[in-house]
Amino acid sequence: MTAHAATSPSIGLASIGLSLPPLALPVEELAKLRGQDPQKYTLGLGCQEMALCPPDFGAVEMAVEAAKRALGRWDGDLGRIGMIVVGTESAVDMSRPLSAWVAEELGLRGAVRSYEVKHACYGGTVALRQALEWKLSGAAGDKAALVIATDVALYALSDPGEPTQGAGAVAMIVDQPDIAVIDPMSYPWSEPAFDFWRPVGESFPRVDGKFSLDCYKKAAENCFRAFVGDDDAQQKLSALAAICFHVPFPKMVKKAFLHVGESFGWDYELSNQIFSQKIDPNMGWNRQCGNAYTASLWMSVAEALAGLDEGQQITAFSYGSGFGAELLTLTAGPEAATGAWTADIEHDLANREHIDAAGYESLRDARLAASA
Ligand code: CAA
């Protein structure tokens, strides 16, 4: 922990809940439809399965379920929630925040700040930072914040991003850091860019795929270099228990980390070794659900925290197109070792239905009809 963190009250994650939708498609099935070699998706992009939502199910339903699960394993009660904030790029209204739909389902009302944050895949992290800083400022009193990252990532049919689709939600209660302390110090980087955006009224994002990769790599380099500062990069990163990234698709994360390594003057072997030990093991859930935009990083963080001993430190690199990025550090608390929230993912993976190529086509038709 930094010197700054040591002098601040410790605030962080008191509870975590996760939710995945009830359908999934193996990427090999999509490859059949698009006439692609399945290995382009599995080896070239590192994808396995995409989580999919039925027509009447989406970001709200996943957010509600994740929130109920986080609240259910928290030792506080709903009356202590003084802020509900949802980070998403799957907004269901241009004015009414998605947090209002969730608060309604939870029965949360009264002296509660309720709002939505948008910054592409970075929105959930901004929401979390605001909750942390609200607590650290003293304005929260003894209230806690409920932060939710939830998204449905769908591309236009045959878009190059289609194999990276996914969905999921992560809810986090920000309060006493039973699961993890979030360091007040963080390392942001932003530059205005059109790498991935969705104009008002359009159903699917417009993407400059190759440019988005360059932006992501540039952001990662700058955030990690700020984190390392004048310290020895190899020593500093090797001391971490895990290094988590926003996961558009797993191969992207590897490319970005190799780029970060190059900027430190490392050879491929060293970067690859750190990637294999500290990064790859945290993307198991991401491979099962695909890109869940705002929720992707926090799914990886939730997977990494499960089973850590108190005091072990991890980093979380958040990226949102447009573009904005931030690197956070978290230190495991006494409850991290229990990994209680892994039960959510195990339950949802065990209970979801796998569909095939024909089922996927019908599903896309049905979603289109439902949104018309
Ligand atoms: N067997 C094995 N590998 C194969 C293969 C085969 N038969 N055929 C191709 N490949 C490999 C390619 O060599 C390539 O690997 P390398 O990059 O290591 O060379 C890989 O498969 C992908 O191939 P392409 O580059 O040709 O893929 P593409 O152009 O069809 O699509 C993409 C790639 C542009 C990233 C696309 O997935 C996309 O547009 N995605 C959406 C944007 C995105 O995810 N950007 C990431 C950063 S932005 C962000 O973070 C926001 C966000 O979440 C969306």
Q: Using most ligand atoms within 8 A of CB, pick from 119, 159, 196, 218 the residue to mutate for ligand 1.
A: 196
What is the rounded distance in angstroms from the CA atom of residue 105 to the CA atom of residue 230?
49
DSSP alpha helix (H) spans, 45-174? 59-72, 98-106, 123-137
Regarding the beta carbon of 248 and ligand 1, being less than 6 Å apart is answered: yes
What is the rounded distance in angstroms from the CA atom of residue 210 to the CA atom of residue 331?
34
**Predicted confidence (pLDDT) per residue in 197-227, tens digit:** 999 999 999 999 999 999 999 999 999 999 9
Coil, strand, or helix at residue 44? helix
Q: Using most ligand atoms within 8 A of CB, pick from 164, 189, 289 the residue to mutate for ligand 1.
A: 164
Q: 225 exposed, middle or buried (CB, 10 Å; 0-12, 13-18, 19+)? A: middle
What is the rounded distance in angstroms from the CA atom of residue 316 to the CA atom of residue 326?
8
Please give the model's pTM, rounded to 2 decimal places.
Answer: 0.97
85 pLDDT above the threshold of 70: yes
| Nearest residue (CA) to ligand 1, atom 37 | 161
For residue 6, give every residue at least 6 positions away whose Cβ sits within 8 Å of its Cβ, in sequence order, or none. none
Q: Is the dihedral of CA 150, 130, 254, 274 positive or negative?
A: negative
Write the single-letter amino acid at 137.
S
* Of 294, 281, 216, 318, nearest in space to 18 by CA: 294
Regarding the beta carbon of 213 and ligand 1, being less than 6 Å apart is answered: yes
Whether the Cβ atoms of residue 145 and residue 134 lie closer than 8 Å to each other:
yes
Question: Which tokens is 200 given?
Answer: 């008002």
Reported as a pLDDT band with limits 50, 70 and 90, residue 17 is: very high
Regarding the beta carbon of 216 and ligand 1, being less than 6 Å apart is answered: yes
Provide the CB-side half-sphere exposure for 35 (13 A, CA).
Answer: 1
| Nearest residue (CA) to ligand 1, atom 44 | 248
Whether the Cβ atoms of residue 364 and residue 215 lie closer than 8 Å to each other:
no
Q: Using most ligand atoms within 8 A of CB, pick from 36, 45, 319 the residue to mutate for ligand 1.
A: 45
Distance (angstroms) between ligand 1 centre and the Cα of 45 equals 5
For residue 320, the ligand 1 atom closest to its alpha carbon is 51
Regarding the beta carbon of 319 and ligand 1, being less than 6 Å apart is answered: yes
Domains along the chain?
A: 3-179+340-371 (3.40.47.10), 187-332 (3.40.47.10)
**Predicted confidence (pLDDT) per residue in 89-139, tens digit:** 999 999 999 999 999 999 999 999 999 999 999 999 999 999 999 999 999
**Predicted confidence (pLDDT) per residue in 317-342, tens digit:** 999 999 999 999 999 999 999 999 99
Name residue, tokens 């190529």: 357
Regarding the beta carbon of 275 and ligand 1, being less than 6 Å apart is answered: no
Give the lowest-confidence range in 2-11, 28-37, 147-156, 200-209: 2-11
**Predicted confidence (pLDDT) per residue in 172-183, tens digit:** 999 999 999 999
